[in-house]
A and B are shown apart, each in its own frame.
Chain A
């Protein structure tokens, strides 16, 4: 009996298949070029207009970077406090979990009214967008740090600053990295969505602009740039996470009610 190919191989084959279809389907006239221009044409157009796309990408990356500072900075900080301090957690966590249900995108018109259609509104929006999931994820992650570590350190005569610097911070790194990965992905999503909605600049804006002129190859070129950005970021963070793998499983309480509960990812819905 023939052995099934490994899942990885199948995934690669599927990837290749998608690329082939992307080229073949429009060229063979199965679907109009308006719906999906051939891959080669899209890439060609991307190359032709590379200066425009590069400039737009720069704007987008800038907005993502600043928004990430807000979302991850505030998210991790506040998440640590909310998760770590029992009284704050009991008070605020249910409130934040409820707010998570609200589609943040409805706030975007408010931000454009307040900050204009330039980068500021995108940054604020993406910052808020990324904040809640990062905060919730950090709050959850902080609680998995083993209390025994603190007890052991206290028995060794550690002072409070030493506890924070030498135990809590190193033990929190896996949680912080997960928060960064989440926050980065979400701020990219937030920036792209807001650029598509109301903007004068950025890659998202290029998507919208070219759609309204029915320039499908350029729309797809922009889509390719965004996909690349997302994937590159994800790969980069996963690489960093793998380097610190030694801490990831070892530092947590592996048993107990926290782990028994199947955790659905604290993603943001776009």
Chain B
């Protein structure tokens, strides 16, 4: 290219190698920014809607299945419509752990948004956390909803539905509702913990107390911290308060 020698005639028509290179680089930069916007805003927004819709459908389906059968099908120990408050020896139904990827629960957390709901699938792989029909994954071999020990789940904080983006908004006593085929488990938020990504002790039956004998029914939620970064994990602990066959009043309009 002898572009520089051509400056004397019609400079507007000149196509210089450097100019094209610059435009290509600018285009590449815009594409990278677009991809980040797509990943964290657009795709997350789309997935949020899909995950919410899938959870609503599953929750409604379970509620309808349990209603007409009047308890005969769902072999639980809890009676009718009454709410079982949970003491140390409470009789709440606890399912056995299903196969990997099985949809096992629907979570409702009003603090994350009045219409926030997510399907919990077995396993914490990306095929669960990035799924358009799930978003929350259950740590294999931890307790099941309502079980004595630690019912532990994980989700992204940003991207892929931004499932646990608002986890740091939880306040003491905030309700976390977990629906299964059997009914609704109401957990109350207790405390946070910030840990290293390697700290699996938060999944222990008694979190961080490896040899302790579990007697409480804990729900543990893990996500990345700070938002948009992955250097730490934000852990939220909640304790089981009650179990009921029918939807608790606070989320009744969101279920069914």
Do A and B originate from a single complex? no
